[in-house]
Amino acid sequence: MKVSLFITCISDAMFPPIGEAMTQLLARCGVRLHFPEVQTCCGQPAFNSGYWDEARAAAKTILEAFADSDFVIVPSGSCAGMIHHYYPRLFEHDAKLLEQSNRLKEKTYEFTQFLVQVLGVTDVGAYFPHKVTYHPSCHGTRLLGIKEEPMQLMSRVGGLEYVPLPYAEDCCGFGGTFAIKMSEISGAMVEEKSTHVLETEAEVLVGLDMGCLLNIGGNLKFRGKPVRVMHLAELLYEGVRNREQTAGG
């Protein structure tokens, strides 16, 4: 079984520890990740901005990069959602590429989906004694239907106190190019989201999309609030190391 990692642009450039956390966690589950070096952007920024020809060029590279993979694992509901929902639209008039995009769609999973749905893993043996709240990103929740998987994984983390986020379903305001084109509206949205995070009195905000985490984390930092912002893979991996250190001590 060839399982490949699609790292995504933001994770590669700004959150490399997420890739390390995913690699280490999956290795503990007996999965060795393959990394095609030719991979690039999924094309979503161009697609959302109306540059579909440029998006197709990026998407073709992704199709080629993962053509011989059995599974493709993504640390982002947004990028996985692009492959699932918009690659078929990009190639609807090209039968060969449409077939390739549908094959890629069928084998592409967001990280928590792969752990729970494919591997059947809900307990990675983590210990994380902190108060945590969770932001469900729009694309992950609405495009991919990711709802129970993060909850199942967090519920099995020792010491973790989960606090529901008020109005959790509301967008954080990032939305890729939306945050640039509609900066004032985006700023108001993330201010509201951050306020709800603070209402939980959580020590840690966890999520599945780096764009959301970057946006919310930036606002919290701007407001001088010491809330730690993490991808769920990072939380689980740190929790596993905590457990190992406790056992070793």
CATH of the domain at 165: 3.40.50
Q: Which tens digits make up the pLDDT trace of 33-73?
A: 999 999 999 999 999 999 999 999 999 999 999 999 999 99
User: Residues 37, 62: one domain?
Assistant: yes
Task: For residue 141, tell me if it sits in a domain.
Answer: yes
Same domain, residue pair 187 and 231:
yes
What's the number of domains the chain is made of?
Answer: 2
Task: Tokens 């967001």: give the residue.
Answer: 110
Provide the pLDDT for residue 183: 87
The share of the chain scoring above pLDDT 70, in percent, equals 100
| Residues near 192 by beta carbon (within 8 Å), at least 6 away in sequence | 167, 170
Query: Do 135 and 100 share a domain, yes or no?
Result: no
Integer Cα distance of 88 and 103 in angstroms: 10
User: What's the confidence (pLDDT) of residue 249?
Assistant: 57
pLDDT given at position 181 = 84
166 pLDDT band, cuts 50/70/90, is: very high
Helices 16-28 and 232-248 cross at an angle (nearest 10°) of 60
Kindly report, residue by residue over 127-149, the tens digit of the pLDDT.
Answer: 999 999 999 999 999 989 999 99
The pLDDT, as a whole number, for residue 223 is: 96
Residues 135, 241, single domain; the answer is: yes
Cβ(146)–Cβ(112) under 8 Å?
Answer: yes
Domain range spanning residue 159? 131-248
pTM for the full model? 0.94
Residue at 215 is within a domain? yes
Q: Do 136 and 60 sit in the same domain of this protein?
A: no
Calpha distance 36→23 (Å, rounded): 14
Same domain, 146 and 83: no
